Amino acid sequence: MAGSFALNTGASIPSVGLGTWQIKPEVVGDTIYAAVKAGYRHIDCAPAYSNETEVGLALKKLFEDGVAKREELFITSKLWSGNHAPEDVPEAIDTTLKDLQLDYLDLFLIHGPIRIRKGTTHIPENLIPTDIPATWGAMEKLYDSGKARAIGVSNFTCKKMEDLLAVARVPPAVNQVECHLIWQQAKLRELCQSRGVHLSAHSPLGEASVLSNPVVISVAEKLQKTPAQVALRWSLQMGQSVLPKSTNEARIKENFDIFDWSIPKDLMAELSGIKQERLLKAEFAVHPLSIYKTLEDLWDGEI
């Protein structure tokens, strides 16, 4: 049985979702169709991935073919860094809803603590200071309107979470961050759990780096599972949902076959000893012109 986690809104988030970052528009439709047929009920999207129109076409086909109903799916999307101005937030979700051919999102996240001038790209000259309290105020209005049934953030550190929690009227339901066996996020997980924020793990295979880790391989051999399954199952046992990406049907199914077995305590302890390194550092946001002069600034020392 596929599982889910409770959100602070009272809704539940399916424990395994398909990530769509870096999946090319020409293959994303078939990928989503295969995933939902295999049992996935959560799709993680973003306008920044330049494939939401194709995701929308695939969702429409899944509904028309009767593979799943809208209310059975959990669809996440994100606010692009160029749309942080409070007046731009409603238009941003409307564009995403139009592209996805939906009338509400289950979860809408601020994509990251990074802001650029409207209509521009991620080059240093376009980086401008964030005003998260103001942007969050506009996100809260989307929650009030029902267009976003839950709101949250992505790529926020402990400090950025605490700053947001201090001003939020509607507390964030989710913080979606890089989290996997090579970057386990122990401190952030503890903070999120203590404040009722669900941690969702993007890049849960460390973009495949986790799969060649000798400790992961040895645990997988002991359990007669694949390294990917061990990596994903570890996340579920830590209480976080996972958003693995794959365009390969066999691997899509393999990544969903993690519900009817578990990693015993002693092997969980072995996994917790893996040497830690943040793999996705977002160096593009660090620049003398940026509010983040160093990676330490961007990640508030969590590096």
Q: Which spans of this chain sit near ligand A2P (rule: CB under 6 A)? A: 19, 203-208, 211, 226, 228, 244-248, 251, 254-255
Minimum CB separation of residue 160 from ligand A2P in Å reads: 22
Residue among 16 and 168 whose Cβ is closer to ligand A2P:
16
Minimum CB separation of residue 210 from ligand A2P in Å reads: 7
CB atoms near residue 295 (< 10 Å): 16
* DSSP code, position 70: G
Check the annotation: does 111 bind a ligand.
yes
Minimum CB separation of residue 250 from ligand A2P in Å reads: 8
Residue among 12 and 247 whose Cβ is closer to ligand A2P:
247
Minimum CB separation of residue 183 from ligand A2P in Å reads: 11
Q: Is 292 a catalytic residue?
A: no
Nearest to 149 by CA among 105, 188, 181: 105
Q: Are strands 12-14 and 42-44 parallel, antiparallel or unpaired?
A: unpaired
Distance CA(266)–CA(274), nearest Å, equals 14
Residue with tokens 């941003």: 92
Residue among 211 and 291 whose Cβ is closer to ligand A2P:
211
Catalytic, out of 33, 49, 143, 292: 49
Residue with tokens 């139009």: 98
Residue among 112 and 244 whose Cβ is closer to ligand A2P:
244
CB atoms near residue 32 (< 10 Å): 26
Q: Is 6 helix (H, G, I), strand (E, B) or coil?
A: strand
Distance CA(143)–CA(138), nearest Å, equals 9
Binding residues, as ranges, are 111
Which residues are catalytically annotated?
Answer: 49
Binding residues for substrate, as ranges, are 111
